[in-house]
């Protein structure tokens, strides 16, 4: 799938934005780090943990500047773009450290945060000038919005044909039943009426939501239908796919109305997001809730692979050219992260990474061909479980120890959000290809766990957030800029 088509105006806008970014960083270099992932992948947790560990100089033995004693300090700074909401770091940290501790709300719109990092360079010629400084701009945005970027290359008729064909597939039939019923009762060539558009849009949105929440499916644009932000209820989000009329649609027909709204959605929502934010990223983190898809079954796994391939095809990726960077940015490093690694035993982490590698194989090859580096990691921004063993039928089984989120169910047991349990999580397959070649189901005892209710504090009384491989992720993403 090609990158989203851009106009000359788009490219000019991107170049001007990049020039403005670099003009503000003549003395201090700026690295823009994009963080995305589909719903429930853990974007908010990842960013909160990353920021907190840098501010408090947390336990990051795999982060070279800190391990080598070159990291001096980090501080939060005012973000230069006053029109973009600030990532609510302090509120999220307060939720995590509350009584009881709880997970903060997930990403629902774009937000940004700037960290100023001070460090001693390992290069002697740079070190002679004293400590160095780096602006780390973190851009948080819903992965569902990325699913919209391919729409820039599709007409309403083309998108409608794809969406309707998908809705009629066996894996979508139950969730799409009401929408297809409403569609069958609609005359697309009839007179345009807002009430008909609203009815179809609502039933289509319900179908998308059920597919995501009940079927763990991912490849269902438009993404803003599920995360509308301040566009909720606007005409730009009040459309749905329609079969192409047998003859040319009249100007005042329902088909013409929805076609116009679809084009307005692309022009006024999707294209500005690509131009103003997405095309200005230097490094990218893609968080993937691999375990949720595995637990939902082969259809969800196959769907996740398609979604990730579609999303990553939209990245402007390639080796960074210092001479062109003032005008055009390229993503030169991509980190694929299988989140919630604390929901399986550490002996399965290699298998989890292997499955993620298989999911992103096509996109990763394309990125490397373009000149970008890629890496996959199994991680947990905040570790919610510890590990132990149990004896069952004379066999010693590895377990997770933690408190399931209130309302979770497993094997007929309903959890209250307060009781700590020991759980054998199951095993991941040794051969990832078995999941894709044969649709082999995975038997996991999968529960969502609450954050740890008791966390350590450092010598200054600051909270210590336990994690899995967050230090390695940081080193890969920004370590070379702090060398």
* Helices H / strands E in the chain, number of each: 17, 12
Q: Which DSSP string corresponds to 289-334?
A: -HHHHHHH-HHHHHHHHHHHHHHHTTS-BS---TTTTTT---B-EE
Q: Give 72's DSSP letter.
A: E
Model confidence pLDDT, tens digit, residues 170-184: 777 789 999 999 999
pLDDT in tens, the chain (483 residues): 445 555 656 655 555 565 555 555 557 899 999 998 877 889 999 999 999 999 999 999 999 999 999 999 999 999 888 888 999 999 999 999 988 889 998 877 889 999 999 999 988 776 677 899 999 999 998 877 887 888 888 999 999 999 999 898 877 778 999 999 999 999 999 999 999 999 999 999 999 988 888 766 666 788 888 878 777 778 889 999 999 888 877 889 999 999 999 999 999 988 888 888 777 899 999 999 999 888 888 878 888 888 888 777 777 777 655 544 544 578 999 999 999 999 999 999 999 999 999 999 988 888 888 888 999 999 999 999 999 998 888 888 899 999 999 999 998 899 999 999 999 998 888 888 877 776 666 778 889 999 998 888 888 889 899 999 999 999 999 999 999
**Whole-number Å distance between alpha carbons of 103 and 91:** 11
The owner of tokens 């600030």 is 86
Residue partners of 240: CB distance under 8 A and separation at least 6: 179, 183, 197, 200, 201, 203, 204, 258
3-class SS of residue 126 = helix
**Whole-number Å distance between alpha carbons of 316 and 294:** 29
Helix (H) or strand (E) holding 283: strand 283-288
The owner of tokens 């319900």 is 206
Q: Which domains does the chain have, with CATH numbers?
A: 8-141+277-382+470-482 (3.40.50), 156-273 (no CATH)
Q: What integer pLDDT is reported at residue 327 of this predicted model?
A: 47
Pairing of strands 132-140, 111-119: antiparallel
Residue partners of 142: CB distance under 8 A and separation at least 6: 36, 39, 43, 107, 108, 109, 110, 223, 227
Q: What integer pLDDT is reported at residue 21 of this predicted model?
A: 57
Residue partners of 307: CB distance under 8 A and separation at least 6: 38, 147, 218, 219
The CB-based long-range contact list for 437-445 (8 Å cut-off, 24+ gap) reads 439/298, 439/302, 440/298, 441/297, 441/298, 442/294, 442/295, 444/291, 444/294, 444/295, 444/344, 445/410, 445/411
Q: What is the pTM of this model?
A: 0.86
Q: What integer pLDDT is reported at residue 323 of this predicted model?
A: 46
**Whole-number Å distance between alpha carbons of 189 and 249:** 6
**What is the rounded end-to-end Cα distance, in angstroms, of the chain?**
36
**Whole-number Å distance between alpha carbons of 212 and 205:** 11
**Whole-number Å distance between alpha carbons of 447 and 350:** 20
User: Contact, 71 vs 53, CB < 8 A?
Assistant: no
Q: What integer pLDDT is reported at residue 143 of this predicted model?
A: 78
Residue partners of 108: CB distance under 8 A and separation at least 6: 142, 227, 229
**Whole-number Å distance between alpha carbons of 328 and 275:** 11
Token code pair at residue 6: 């851009």
């Amino acid at each position: 799938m090609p990158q989203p088509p851009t106009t000359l105006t788009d490219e000019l806008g991107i170049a001007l934005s990049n020039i403005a970014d670099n003009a503000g960083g003549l003395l201090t270099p700026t690295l823009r780090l994009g963080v995305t992932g589909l719903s429930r992948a853990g974007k908010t947790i990842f960013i909160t943990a990353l920021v907190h560990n840098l501010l408090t100089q947390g336990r990051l033995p795999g982060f070279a500047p800190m391990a080598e004693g070159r990291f001096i300090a980090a501080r939060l700074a005012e973000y230069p773009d006053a029109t973009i909401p600030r990532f609510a770091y302090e509120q999220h940290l307060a939720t995590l450290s509350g009584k009881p501790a709880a997970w903060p709300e997930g990403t629902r719109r774009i937000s940004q945060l700037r960290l100023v990092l001070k460090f001693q360079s390992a290069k002697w010629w740079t070190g002679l000038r004293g400590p160095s400084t780096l602006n780390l701009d973190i851009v948080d945005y819903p992965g569902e919005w990325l699913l919209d970027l391919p729409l820039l290359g599709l007409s309403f008729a083309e998108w409608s044909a794809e969406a309707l064909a998908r809705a009629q597939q066996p894996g979508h039939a139950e969730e799409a039943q009401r929408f297809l019923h409403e569609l069958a009762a609609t005359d697309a060539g009839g007179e345009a009426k807002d009430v008909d558009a609203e009815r179809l849009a609502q039933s289509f949105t319900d179908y998308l939501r059920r597919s995501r929440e009940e079927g763990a499916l991912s490849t269902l644009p438009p993404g803003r239908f599920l995360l509308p932000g301040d566009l909720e209820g606007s005409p730009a989000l009040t459309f749905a796919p329609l079969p192409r009329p047998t003859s040319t649609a009249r100007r005042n027909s329902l088909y013409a109305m929805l076609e116009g709204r679809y084009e307005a959605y692309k022009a006024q929502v999707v294209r500005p997001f690509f131009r103003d934010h997405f095309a200005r990223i230097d490094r990218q983190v893609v968080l993937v809730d691999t375990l949720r898809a595995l637990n939902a079954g082969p259809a969800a796994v196959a769907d996740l692979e398609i979604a990730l391939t579609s999303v990553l095809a939209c990245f402007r990726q390639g080796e960074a050219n210092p001479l062109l960077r003032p005008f055009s940015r390229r993503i030169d490093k991509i980190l694929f992260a299988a989140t919630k690694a604390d929901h399986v035993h550490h002996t399965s982490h290699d298998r989890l990474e292997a499955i993620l590698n298989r999911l992103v194989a096509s996109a990763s090859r394309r990125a490397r061909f373009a000149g970008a580096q890629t890496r996959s990691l199994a991680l947990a921004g905040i570790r919610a479980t510890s590990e132990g063993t149990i004896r069952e039928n004379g066999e010693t089984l590895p377990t997770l120890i933690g408190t399931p989120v209130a309302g979770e169910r497993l094997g007929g047991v309903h959890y209250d959000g307060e009781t700590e349990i020991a759980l054998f999580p199951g095993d991941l397959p040794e051969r990832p290809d078995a999941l894709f070649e044969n649709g082999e189901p995975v038997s996991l005892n999968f529960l969502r766990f609450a954050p740890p209710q008791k966390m350590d504090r450092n010598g200054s009384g600051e909270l210590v957030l336990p994690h899995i491989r967050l230090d390695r992720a940081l080193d890969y993403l920004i370590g070379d800029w702090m060398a």
